[in-house]
Amino acid sequence: MNVKNKTTKELEEICLQIRNRIIDVVSRNGGHFSSTLGAVELTVGMHYVFDANHDPFIFDVSHQCYPHKLITGRWESFETIRQFNGLSGFTKPKESSADYFVAGHSSTSISLAIGAAKAIRLKKEARVPVVMIGDGSMSAGMVYEALNELGDRKYPMVIILNDNEMSIAKPIGAISKHLSKLLAGKFYQGFKERVDKILRNHFPDGATYLAKKIEESMKLITPGIIFEEMGVDYIGPIDGHDIEEIINTLELAKNMGKPVIVHARTVKGKGYKVAEGHHEHWHGVGPFDTESGEFIKKSQATSATEVFAQALLNLAKQHDNVVGVTAAMPSGTGIDKLIKEYPNRFWDVAIAEQHAVTSMAAMAKEGFKPFITIYSTFLQRGFDQIVHDVCLMDLPVVFAIDRAGIVGNDGETHQGVFDISFLRFIPNMILCAPRDNETLQLALVYAYEATSPCAIRYPRGAFTPLPFEAVPFQTGKAELLHEGSSHKLFIGYGAGVARAYQTAQFFTEDIALLDLRFVKPLDKQLLKELSSKYSHWYIFSDSQQQGGVGSAILEFLNDEKITVALTTFEYEDIFIQHGDTKEVEESLGLLPQQIKERIDISNN
């Protein structure tokens, strides 16, 4: 889609077409919605002023990249967004040369732009990195690490701050609004350049200092003071839905030849009235009816997240020392209910996983029982803090790891497959996993009593119901659910217990089933006993093979000089693509019927 050399009216019509296409497809497929609708005019402006195949276009998180995809040759294929073997919901260079970088986690964009700018300077090229970053991503420390260097190095780039939540400091009154408009104009920018040049060349240091102080006093009543103080020029706020103002401002910023932040105010969900404004549930959506705005529910089963939230709420009612934190995912993790009930004991600290972990470490030292509720994929961002601030001190912090395993349509950047591997080798860490709703509740009771760091993982969506009675957790104790008469032992961990149980139903022989419960510490005594009865062990866990459950058991077998044939059905050494969870599992050969066939083939 060509947006170059179009009139303002033609560009407005293009924006309308893009919005209608997004609403139509996302209402049927699901996907990121309100954030991407709010970024339509900004994206069209970017493509009008810059060239995505020449200038690096870097979208922070990239959940707002749907208009970009539509402009860059993916109008027809947009039907497949987030579907198996279809378009990714995020930017992906393998998909298009217009996508500069893979992005699914927040607050990486300015660092990427600085790296690109350094390379551009070394190669002596005339390219300008262009960043679009939301105000939510500005809550992460990595952004300020990048701005700190950028303000010193002064690499040319344009950073579009898409402010759709008004979490950047609000301007004060009519005077500030007027000054912000002046700051966005060519007169002010040109005047500033001329004054700076005159002062540098003709006036003593005292006059320069005075002039700067006068300018700073004006900037104090605008939102840009923090960026100017860091050495990055600021323009705005501008109307992020006024295509003419956006283009004029971006052209000005492009020609300044230095780092510039363009602050644009936008409305989330712009163009679809029901979703407009601060409605978190319209950020990422499933299919919905475009006329009524009602979501199309696929399942009435209670999710593991809901079970966790209620169980934690029950604990909080019983114990005053229970506290908790999430990093910008209150509704996604279910902790929003606890924040509402106990606002002084449960917090959303924004996109700041490192801070979340370390702050809770201090609370544990003070005698509280912190629960850090976080997606598996985002826990990666707080790894050093887990090692240095929690485990080294052996503090009883609980990591409630949501979205463990395959998460579906978000794909490679969000699959929750690595947490066992990167937590298992940390001293003092306890790793356990429930198999169903009842054992999840018991796991939280156990975690409250634990005196060391403890991580509990559970899947996205609902557990598969199982016909086994739940018993309390004891550290390092597995549970033999069924004592089979064949030589096969199925070992399940967490949600893997259900897959093991379902697979066993395809066999005519009587297969033993073990719920491992703990991958650290292992139930070594029980495993020794089982090795004398069952010669073929099969591992079922929604986790990476390297460093996973199978690795833990192999290490144990090697140490004890025990010989059994072991096969693991964990994920191979790949990044797992997006798509419906069942379709993804089928592509990996992990559906119960497929596993049965694999076992039969290996035994023949």
- Residues 400 and 440 sit within 8 Å (Cβ to Cβ): no
Inside any domain, residue 295: no
Q: At what angle do helices 437-449 and 304-318 cross, to 10 degrees?
A: 40
In a domain, 100, yes or no: yes
Q: Tell whether 123 and 159 lie within a shared domain.
A: yes
Select which of 19, 82, 270, 381 is catalytic.
381
- Domain assignment present for 215: yes
Domain identity same for 409 and 438? yes
Closest CA to 28 of 74, 78, 67: 78
**Assigned domain for 491 exists:** yes
Q: Which of 222, 241, 262 is the last residue of a domain?
A: 222
Domain that includes residue 128, residue range: 8-170+233-285
Could you tell me if 373 and 455 are in contact, meaning their C-beta atoms sit under 8 angstroms apart? no
Question: Are 349 and 327 spatial neighbours (Cβ–Cβ below 8 Å)?
Answer: yes
321 and 255 share a domain? no
Output the six-digit token pair for 20. 């209608």
- Identify whether 442 is part of a domain: yes
Catalytic residue among 41, 353, 479, 585: 353
16 token code pair:
């309308």
Instruction: Assess whether pLDDT exceeds 60 at residue 191.
Output: no
Domain-embedded: residue 228: no
How many separate domains does the chain show?
Answer: 4
185 and 253 in a single domain? The answer is no
Average pLDDT rounded to a whole number, residues 393-418: 96
Side chain identity at residue 205, one-letter code: D
Return the CATH number at 572: 3.40.50.920
Other residues' Cβ atoms within 10 Å of the Cβ of residue 466 = 20
Per-residue pLDDT band at 603 (split at 50, 70, 90): confident
Residues 434 and 510 placed together within one structural domain of the fold? no
296 occurs within a structural domain: no
pTM: 0.88
Within this chain, do residues 49 and 166 fall inside the same structural domain, yes or no? Answer: yes
Both tokens of residue 573?
């050494």
| Same domain, yes or no: 415 and 276 | no
Distance CA 454, CA 446 (A): 10
Same domain, 275 and 148: yes
Exposure pattern of 279-309 as b/e (b: 16+ CB <10 Å)?
Answer: eeebbbbeebeeeeeeeeeeeeeebbbebbb
Q: Does the active-site annotation cover 517? A: no
DSSP notation for 480-522: EEE--SSSEEEEE-TTHHHHHHHHHTT-SS--EEEE--EEES-
Confidence of residue 175 (pLDDT cuts 50, 70, 90): very low
Half-sphere exposure of 202 (CA within 13 A, CB side): 6
Beta strands in 9-135 (DSSP E): 31-32, 57-59, 130-134
Q: Is the pLDDT of residue 135 over 90?
A: no
The answer to whether residue 460 is catalytic is: no
Residue 29: give its domain's CATH number: 3.40.50.970
Instruction: Judge if 421 and 521 occupy the same domain.
Output: no
Is-contact 328 350, C-beta < 8 A? Answer: yes
Q: Would you say residue 325 lies in a domain?
A: yes
Cα–Cα distance, 446 to 472 (Å, whole number): 8
Kindly state the tokens that stand for 313. Answer: 């709420």
The catalytic residue among 127, 265, 268, 424 is: 268
Phi-psi region of 220 (alpha: psi -120 to 50; beta: other; left: phi over 0): alpha
Check whether residue 186 and residue 315 sit in a common domain.
Answer: no
> Which tens digit of pLDDT belongs to each residue from 479-528?
999 999 999 999 999 999 999 999 999 999 999 999 999 999 999 999 99
| Same-domain pairing of 352 and 390 | yes
Enumerate residues 6+ apart whose C-beta is below 8 A from 539.
491, 493, 496, 549, 550, 553, 566, 567, 568, 569, 570
- Whether 194 is catalytic is no
Residues 46 and 125 in one domain: yes
pLDDT tens, 217-264?
Answer: 545 445 677 888 889 999 988 999 999 999 999 999 999 999 999 999
